[in-house]
Amino acid sequence: MRKKLIATMMAAVMTAGLITGCGSDGGKTTSGGGSSSKGGNETITLKLFSNLPDRKNGQGLVEQKIIDEYMEANKNIKIEVEALDEEAYKTKFKAYAMDDMPDVVSIWGQPSFLDEVLAAGTLAELNESDYSDYKFVEGSLEGFKKNGSLYGLPRNTDIAVFYYNEKMFNDNGWTVPETYDDLLSLSDKINDAGITPVAMDGGDGWPMAIYLTDLAFRIEGPAVADKINEAVAKGDFTDEVFSDATSLLVKSAKAGLFQKGYDSQDYGTAMNLFTNGQAAMFYMGTWESSMATNEDIPKDIRENIRVFVMPSVSGGTAKNTDLAAWNGGGYAVSQGCQNKEEAIKFLNYMYQPDKLSKYGWENGVGLSAQDQTSYTTGNETELQKQIMSLLTNATSMSGTPINDCGPSAFKTVIESEIQNVSNGTTSIDDFLLTIGKSCQ
Amino acid sequence: MGSKIAGKKHSPAGKIIVWVVLSIMAVIQIFPLVWLVDFSLASSNEMFTSGLLVMPKKIQWGNYAKAFVDGHFLLYLKNSIIINGLAVLLVLIISIMAAFAVHRMRWKLSGFVKTLLLLGMMIPIHATLLPNYKLYNTLNITDTCWALLIPYVAFSLPQALYLMTGFLDSVPIELEEAAVMDGCGIYRIVFQVVIPLLKPSIATVSIMTFLNNWNEFMMARTYLSSPKWKTLPFSVLEFTGQYSSNYAVQFAVMALTAAPAVIVYIILNKHITKGVAMGAVKG
C-alpha cells in the first residue's frame, strides 16, 4: 500500500513536470523551426563568440559592420554572434573548451590565456604564408604562435601612454616631462594647483601592472621581455629590475601622483576625472584615442587631448622611441568546428587590410596590428596623428604586459597584490615573493 | 504595523525611538531605488560628479528608449517571466508534495530523503557550472529554456522544502485525520485540505524563488548562447564596452529590471512578512 502511494505520488510529480514543461517545449520547437526554415538547406551557420558585447559603439560596432557586410556578400552564410564581457567571456570559454566550441572566437595572444587553450588543442592552425600580404606589423604575430605554428591573428596594437590636457598644461606653464623625476616634480606642481596629476584606474589592477611593465621597460630596455619570461618560468622575481620598478611605482603613489583613492576607483571613474578636467593626465592604452571625438566630453577638453609616453628613468637604458606596446586581442578559428574552411574564409575576410584595420582607423578605436598609414585622410584628430607617429617612429616594443605573461593564477595574484604594494599595505619584497610563488 | 504594536507597550519616548529607527531603516532600504532612478535619468558624464545624487541638466528619457530597443528589453522580459514563472510553479508543486511526503507520510527512508534534499543547500552554484554544461550539452538542451529551468528549480528546492516542512507543522494533523475519516484520498488531503492552509508559505516560497532567479546571471550566461531564451540580466550586458560602459543606460535597464521584482514584492508583501514570522515560530 505504502509503496503504491509513493509510486503514485512520484508519477503525479512527474506528470505535473511534464505538463508544465510541455507548454514551454512547444513554444521552443515552433520558434526553432521558424528560424531554420528561413535559411533553406544550403545555409551555413557560423558562430562567432566575441568579447565585445556593445555592438553599437567602438570595436563592437566595427566587428558587427564587417559581419553584416560578409553576410550581404555571401548569402549562404549566416553568422550568429554571442558576445560577453571579458570576465564572463573567459569563464564561458572554459565551458566551450570542453564541448561545442563556436567556430570563430576572440582570443588573447598572451601566455596567461593562450597557453592553456593551446595545450587543450582548442584552436585550429592557420597557414602563416596566407597572410604575407595582409600588412601585419612586424612581430605582431609572435604572441599567437606556438612551436612555430600560427593559431590566431592580432586585432590591435596597444600602446600605453599618458594622455594629457594640453590647454591645461599651457595655461599653467607646465611642460611635458623629459625624465621620471620631472614627472614627479610636475606632479607636485599640479597638486599645488589643486588638480589631480594622473588619473589612474587602480581598482582593476591591470592598468597598474602595465604601468609597472612600462617602468621596468624604461629601466632595462628591450631586454626586459626576456627577464620577465625568465622570472615567470622560475617563479623568482629577485632581479633588480623588478624591485627598482616596483619601488618607483610605490614612490610615485606615495608622492601623490595618482588621485586620492586610486586603488579602489575603476576605469570609468578614473577616465571621467580626466575628461571632466579634474585631472591633468590619464594613464591608459591608445584604444581610448576616441576620446578626441566623443561628443559627451566638453569641447575644450576633447580637442586638447595629447599624449606622451613614459619619460625616461635615470640610469635606464630605454630610449624615448621605445614603446610599451603589445598586440593583445585577436581572433582564431576553433579546431573542432564543423565548417572550419568557411570559418577561416571569414577570418581572412575580416583581416583584409581594408576591413578591421581601415574601419577601426575610421572609427578611432585605436591602432590595428596592420599597417594603417595608407588610410590617413588628413582629417584625423591631432591625437590620432600623434599616436600614429609614435608607432611609425618606434624603435622597439615592450611586448605583453607582465600580468599577462604567466599562468592565469599569476595574473590574478599580481593584479590584486599590486594594489597592496602601491598603497604600502605590503612591502616590496613581500610583493615580489608572492607573485613569484603564484607562478609555480 | 510594527510601530503601532510597539507604541502601545512603550512610553512616548519609546515611540519616538521606534519611529526614528524605522525611518532610518526605511531610508537605507529605499535610497538605492531612488539613486537607481535618479542616475538612470542622467547622462553618463554627470554620474561622476562628487554629489550623492545628481540633478540632471536635461532629463534623459532617451536612456530608457535605448534600454528598450538596443537592450531587447521586451524579448528578455518575456523570457524572464516564462522561465521564472515556470520555475516558481514547479518549485511549489514539488516542494509541497515532497514536504508532505517526507514530513507527514511514514515510510522507511523519509528522514533520509529529507536530509538528502536539504543537502542541496550546501552545494555552491560555481561548482556545478562546468559539469552541468557538459551534461546539458550531451543531452542537447543547452540554449533551451530547460537549461535554466532545471537548475533554477533544483537550487530553489531545498530552501522551499525547508520552509514548507516548517509550515506543515503548524497544520494540525487532526484535520488530515478528519479528512481521512470522511473518505478523502491522499490527493484530496494535499490539494483541498493542506494547500489552502499553506497559503502564507506558498507566498513566501514563490517570492523567494522568484527574486533569487530573477537576477541570476552566472548560470544564464553559461548555458545560453543565442538571444532566444536570454533573460533580463543580459540586457545590462548589451551596453558593456570593452573597457568602459554606457553606465546611464545600464542604470535605466536595471531600473526596468527591478520594477517587476518590486511590484511582485509589494503585491505579496503582506504574505511574506506573515509567512516568514510564522515559519520561524513553528519551524
- How would DSSP label each residue in B98-158? HHHHHHTS--TTHHHHHHHHHHGGGS-HHHHHHHHHHHHHHTT-TTSHHHHHHHHHHHHHH
**Are A20 and B247 within 8 A, CB to CB?**
no
pLDDT of residue A169: 94
Cα distances (Å, whole numbers) of residue A95 to A186, A404, B133, B221, B242: 49, 21, 7, 11, 21
**Are A20 and B86 within 8 A, CB to CB?**
yes
pLDDT of residue A72: 94
Give the CA diameter of chain B. Answer: 72
Q: How many CB atoms lie within 10 A of CB A228?
A: 25
Cβ distance B186 to B200 under 8 Å? no
**Are B130 and A94 within 8 A, CB to CB?**
yes
Q: Which residues contact A270 (CB under 8 A, 6 or more apart)?
A: A199, A200, A201, A202, A207, A259, A262, A279, A282
**Residues of chain A contacting B246 with CB distance shorter than 8 Å:** 54, 57
What is the arithmetic mean of pLDDT over A146-152? 91
**Are A24 and B45 within 8 A, CB to CB?**
no
pLDDT tens digits, B213-246 = 998 999 999 899 888 899 999 988 888 877 777 8
Tell me the β-bridge partners of A281.
A164, A198
Cα distances (Å, whole numbers) of residue B58 to A265, B42, B43, B250: 27, 7, 8, 18
Give yes or no for residue B280 having a pLDDT over 70.
no
Tell me the β-bridge partners of A44.
A77
Distance CA A278, CA B8 (A): 55
In this complex, is the C-beta atom of B64 within 8 Å of any C-beta atom belonging to chain A? no
Cβ distance A51 to A106 under 8 Å? yes
Scored b (16 or more CB within 10 A) or e, A54-85 reads bbebbbbbbbbebbeebeeeeeebebbbbbbb
Selected residue with higher pLDDT from A19 and A294: A294
**Are A99 and B133 within 8 A, CB to CB?**
yes
The total number of residues written for chain A in this structure? 440
Burial (CB count within 10 angstroms: exposed 0-12, middle 13-18, buried 19+), residue A345: middle
Q: What is the band of B265 on the pLDDT scale with cuts at 50, 70, 90?
A: confident
Nearest Cα to A414, choosing from A260, A211, A180, A264? A211
Q: What value of ipTM does the predicted structure carry?
A: 0.75
Report the residue of chain B nearest A275, measured CA to CA: B45
**Are A13 and B187 within 8 A, CB to CB?**
no
Burial (CB count within 10 angstroms: exposed 0-12, middle 13-18, buried 19+), residue B170: middle
pLDDT of residue A336: 85
What is the arithmetic mean of pLDDT over B45-67? 81
Of B94, B238, B244, the CB nearest to A53: B238
Q: What is the band of A191 on the pLDDT scale with cuts at 50, 70, 90?
A: very high
Of A24, A51, A268, the CB nearest to B245: A268
CA distance B239 to chain A (A): 5
Burial (CB count within 10 angstroms: exposed 0-12, middle 13-18, buried 19+), residue A424: exposed
**Are A98 and B242 within 8 A, CB to CB?**
no
Q: What is the band of A2 on the pLDDT scale with cuts at 50, 70, 90?
A: low
**Residues of chain B contacting A98 with CB distance shorter than 8 Å:** 130, 133-134, 137
**Are B97 and A9 within 8 A, CB to CB?**
yes
Dihedral, CA atoms, B128, B130, B136, B137, nearest 10 degrees?
A: -170
Query: Alpha helices, DSSP H only, in B139-217?
Result: 145-168, 173-181, 186-188, 195-197, 199-214
Q: Which residues contact B185 (CB under 8 A, 6 or more apart)?
A: none
In this complex, is the C-beta atom of B95 within 8 Å of any C-beta atom belonging to chain A? no
**Residues of chain A contacting B228 with CB distance shorter than 8 Å:** 28, 31-32
pLDDT of residue A4: 58
pLDDT of residue B240: 82
Tell me the β-bridge partners of A136.
A370
Of A16, A95, A288, the CB nearest to B222: A95
In this complex, is the C-beta atom of B145 within 8 Å of any C-beta atom belonging to chain A? yes
CA distance B115 to chain A (A): 18
pLDDT of residue B2: 45
Report the residue of chain A nearest B130, measured CA to CA: A95
**Residues of chain A contacting B245 with CB distance shorter than 8 Å:** 54, 268
Of A9, A31, A54, the CB nearest to B239: A54
CA distance B9 to chain A (A): 47
Q: How many CB atoms lie within 10 A of CB A109?
A: 26
Distance CA A58, CA A363 (A): 7
pLDDT tens digits, A118-129 = 988 899 999 998
Distance CA A125, CA A122 (A): 10
Find where cell 526554415 sits: A37
**Are A98 and B134 within 8 A, CB to CB?**
yes
pLDDT of residue A80: 92
pLDDT tens digits, A321-349 = 889 999 888 999 999 888 899 999 999 99
The pTM assigned to this predicted structure is: 0.79
| Cα dihedral sign, A419-A425-A429-A431 | negative
pLDDT of residue A366: 81
pLDDT tens digits, B120-174 = 889 998 889 889 999 999 999 989 999 999 999 999 999 999 999 988 888 888 9
Cα distances (Å, whole numbers) of residue A305 to A63, A372, B204, B281: 27, 21, 56, 65
Burial (CB count within 10 angstroms: exposed 0-12, middle 13-18, buried 19+), residue A407: middle
CA distance A427 to chain B (A): 30
Strands A104-108 and A44-50: parallel
Distance CA B278, CA B204 (A): 11
